[in-house]
Amino acid sequence: MRGECELRFVGKVEAGGTEEAMVRILPEFCDALKGVDGFSHLIILYWLHLRDDETERSVLQVVPRRHTRNVKVGVFACRSPSRPNPIGLCVVKLTKIEGCILTVKGLDALEGSPIIDIKPYIPRADSVPEAQVPEWTSRGPPT
């Protein structure tokens, strides 16, 4: 099952950083921001452009970085940037919208990262308090 698709980037990270980041939405997608200001948090999908090569896309197992326990897992079981499709996902706090620029906190994307999509964070749909995770994920940095 090998298929082709067209992915349209809707913007890019202009200034990166988990404390404060700026995301510029392309003018042709700026109208899609209508109503976003009513949400405190957003889900941002972005392209891990520095990992977009055949070597990184062929990585299937890793030892998750920044965790205190070394355990080898498949990339689908962790947040590794090396993966078959280098797509990143991050929940961010929206602090300001000015025109087509979003100012957010908590974005782990690098400056220049293309934005794939933005979705509102809706607690009743996006939070699963009783979710179970492996023990090794309980130590280490927030992801």
Q: What number of other Cβ atoms are within 10 A of residue 4's Cβ?
A: 4
Task: Retrieve residue 91's tokens.
Answer: 């929940």
pLDDT band for position 143 (50/70/90)? low
pLDDT band for position 56 (50/70/90)? confident
* Tens digits of residue pLDDT in 98-113: 999 999 999 999 999 9
Mean pLDDT is highest, among 40-49, 63-72, 73-82, 134-143, for 40-49
Task: Retrieve residue 93's tokens.
Answer: 């706090």
Degrees (nearest 5) of the Cα angle 121, 125, 126?
A: 50
Give the CATH fold of the 8-48+87-122 domain: Elongation Factor Tu (Ef-tu); domain 3 (2.40.30)
Instruction: In whole angstroms, give the CA distance from residue 141 to residue 143.
Output: 6
The confidence score (pLDDT) of residue 53 equals 84
Cα–Cα nearest to 44, from 124, 131, 102? 102
Q: Is 0.85 topped by the overall pTM?
A: yes
Instruction: In whole angstroms, give the CA distance from residue 114 to residue 47.
Output: 5
Q: Is 130 helix (H, G, I), strand (E, B) or coil?
A: coil
Q: What count of Cα atoms within 13 Å lies in the side-chain half-sphere of residue 119?
A: 12
Q: Which of 47-51, 73-77, 79-83, 138-142 has the weakest average pLDDT?
A: 138-142
The confidence score (pLDDT) of residue 68 equals 59
The confidence score (pLDDT) of residue 51 equals 87
- For CATH 2.40.30.70, the residue range(s) in the chain are 8-48+87-122
